[in-house]
Amino acid sequence: MSLNLIRIASQGGGGPFLWYKSNAGVREEYDTQLRRVSKRVTNFGAKDIFNLQFPQYNKIIKLANARGEDQGMLVAGTYLRYFVDNQRYVKDDGFLGRLWQMFSDSDACNAYLRLKDNHIRYIVIDPNI
């Protein structure tokens, strides 16, 4: 803890930690006329923090939690796996190795059948991978 405090203190007024702290409690929103409105917020809950960090996950989490028992997902390069309720048939593919194996013969029909055999109905890939 003391090393972390030294690191934060060494950043001075221009460091990223202080930039973050100066913005904490302020939420930028846009109204229907696309005018920016700054609102003061005094308490952030877990949902607020999640929406600030991973807003792009909300739609796929809803879809993943509503999928059938035999419908699987291949998740590559994201933290999405940790937010899905039903972990059955959720396969992690950090560097797209598993997906590469399924598509390695360049035959779309075979790749489709391999995905189907592995119960994979959804493929989620982080474009930054």
Query: What are the residue ranges spanned by the domains of the chain?
Result: 2-43, 54-125
Nearest CA-CA partner of 72 in 123, 124, 120, 125:
120
pLDDT on residue 11? 59
CA 5, 47, 84, 127 dihedral sign is negative
Rounded to two decimals, the pTM is: 0.60
36: left (phi over 0), alpha (psi -120 to 50) or beta: beta
Low-confidence ranges of the chain (pLDDT < 50): none
pLDDT on residue 120? 92
90 contacts: CB under 8 Å, gap ≥ 6: 64, 72, 73, 75, 81, 84
pLDDT digits (tens, 9 = 90+) for 84-117: 888 888 888 888 888 898 899 999 999 999 999 9
pLDDT on residue 109? 95
